[in-house]
Amino acid sequence: MSQLFRQVALLSCRTPITLSQRFRGKINIQRPRAPHYERAKVIAVAQSLPTLEEPKKQITCFQRRQREADVENPYVAVIAREVRNWLEHSRLIGFYHLNSIKQDDLFEVRVKLHKQNMHLKSYGKQIVHKAVEGTRFEAILPLFESKNCIVFSTEQRVGQLLRITRRVPQMILLAGIVDERLLSRNEFMAYAQLPGLQAAQGELVQILNMAASNVVRQLETHQKNFVNVLDVYAKGEPETTKPAKEANEIEKA
């Protein structure tokens, strides 16, 4: 029975095929069709209007952007003063090239540095150029050709800084300033291997004491030898003859 219903044409469903066509026939490019009356009136009115000439440009877009860049921005001046203040009052400054890094990871690094009394900052080339122009820090300008960051600290914790940033491969050390002296990457890392100030002072004191005791010992050597010789002559017989006399007495016995 089911096969009978399947064979009936009235129960079959077929999807129609639709084909959209804009024009009834092909478009004649050489003899186009005349526009509608309303459209023809709009075209005629538009053609009858006078054409306005385009105003001549006095300056190009590049020159306009250059003029806008030359205008002094008060906010840039404020940030430049802040950068100069950091440079003037920091005993330790580290310059790092900053690769692509997540903000969460960067925040963790900033927190770790802040616990060690270090501050992670990032400034643009224009701000740094305005801050160091005409100062003794002008030599750091070539370090700001790409995206980078700066670490400021009022204490000379070079080793601590390297231990924190070594775990962040996105931060690449470029150079550093320690006690107003610009150091390269290798010099900066070699400075971290040096002992502390108190340890160096202790070594210096030890060396000076050793030198002083050496001089005193050398000065007293001749006096002690002279006293020993006088003591031997005062006793009447040299010490070297005592063992010989004792041997002769043993032989006679």
State the residue range of the domain holding 164. Answer: 68-192
Q: What is the chain's Cα-based Rg?
A: 47
Is the residue at 116 inside a domain? yes
pLDDT at 241 over 60: no
> How many domains in the chain?
1
Q: Which amino acid type is present at position 217?
A: R
Is the residue at 202 inside a domain? no
pLDDT at 247 over 70: no
User: In this structure, is the dihedral angle defined by the CA atoms of residues 191, 195, 197 and 201, taken in order, positive or negative?
Assistant: negative
Is the residue at 133 inside a domain? yes
The pLDDT assigned to 174 comes to: 92
Average pLDDT over residues 58-76: 68
More confident site: 253 or 16: 16
d(CA 184, CA 252): 85
Length of the chain: 253
CATH number assigned to the domain comprising residue 128: 3.30.70.1730
pLDDT at 242 over 80: no
